[in-house]
């Protein structure tokens, strides 16, 4: 059983300076008591690092990146804890959304001067699958709307978490 907070807290400290350099306001909403999840700490760190790195990278100066814990959902009769990573960035157009988890795929807006290998989300997807989690992406379909992207990662609660034990 893993406490998501124990993985996220140190990661946020090391990522804070990257956000500051780009004048991005990095906020985390982390409740005190959470149920533990089934996860591999190292894999979870890699997943969160990639998603927060993307959120900062694809959000222009002055924007916001927010991470939230403490969300619970029952999907197909299984209980999951959610991790929300939300930014006020460029958003992901519909035609890109179907491909962003593919190896080496880079979005249209990323082809310009934002560099990368297109591997981050493919690795994220593999790791989330290995942990028997679920990953979802949300972005407004209408580019005229307030843009931005949300990723949700759902991880199954541990036995202790299912029994209502908080850590
Ligand atoms: P790498 O992570 O290897 O440095 P990358 O960031 O391009 O490169 P992925 O992390 O796999 O690769 O992301 C794939 C594509 O998805 C990106 O090229 C970008 O177009 C899009 N994308 C990912 N996260 C976001 C986000 N938060 N906002 C907007 N677009 C995003
Ligand atoms: Mg990336």
Which tens digit of pLDDT belongs to each residue from 117-156?
Answer: 999 999 999 999 999 999 999 998 776 666 899 999 999 9
- Asked if residue 111 has pLDDT above 90, the reply is no
- CA dihedral defined by 149, 5, 25, 141, rounded to 10 degrees? 10
Element (H, E) at 127: helix 120-130
**pLDDT at residue 83 in the model:** 98
Ligand 1, atom 18, residue with closest C-alpha = 106
Q: Which atom of ligand 1 lies nearest, measured to the CA of 90?
A: 29
Cα angle value 108/26/114 (rounded, 5°): 25
Residues 6+ apart with CB under 8 A from 62: 23, 24
Task: Taking residues 105-120, report their average pLDDT.
Answer: 90
Better-predicted residue by pLDDT, 157 or 113: 157
**Predicted structure pTM score:** 0.96
Cα angle value 11/40/20 (rounded, 5°): 10
Q: How far is the CA of 120 from the centre of ligand 1 (A)?
A: 7
Q: Which atom of ligand 1 lies nearest, measured to the CA of 111?
A: 18
């Amino acid at each position: 059983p893993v406490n998501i907070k124990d993985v996220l807290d140190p990661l946020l400290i090391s990522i804070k300076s990257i956000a500051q350099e780009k004048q991005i306001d990095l906020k985390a909403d982390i409740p005190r008591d959470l149920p533990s999840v089934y996860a591999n700490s190292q894999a979870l760190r890699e997943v969160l690092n990639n998603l927060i790195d993307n959120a900062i990278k694809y959000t222009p100066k002055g924007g916001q990146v927010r991470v939230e814990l403490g969300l619970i959902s029952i999907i197909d009769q299984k209980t999951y804890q959610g991790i929300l990573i939300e930014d006020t960035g460029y958003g992901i157009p519909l035609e890109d959304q179907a491909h962003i988890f593919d190896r080496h795929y880079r979005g249209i807006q990323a082809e310009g001067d934002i560099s990368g290998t297109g591997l981050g989300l493919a690795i994220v997807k593999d790791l989330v699958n290995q942990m028997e989690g679920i990953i979802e992406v949300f972005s407004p379909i209408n580019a005229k709307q307030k843009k931005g992207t949300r990723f949700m990662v759902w991880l199954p609660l541990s036995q202790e978490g299912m029994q209502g034990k908080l850590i």
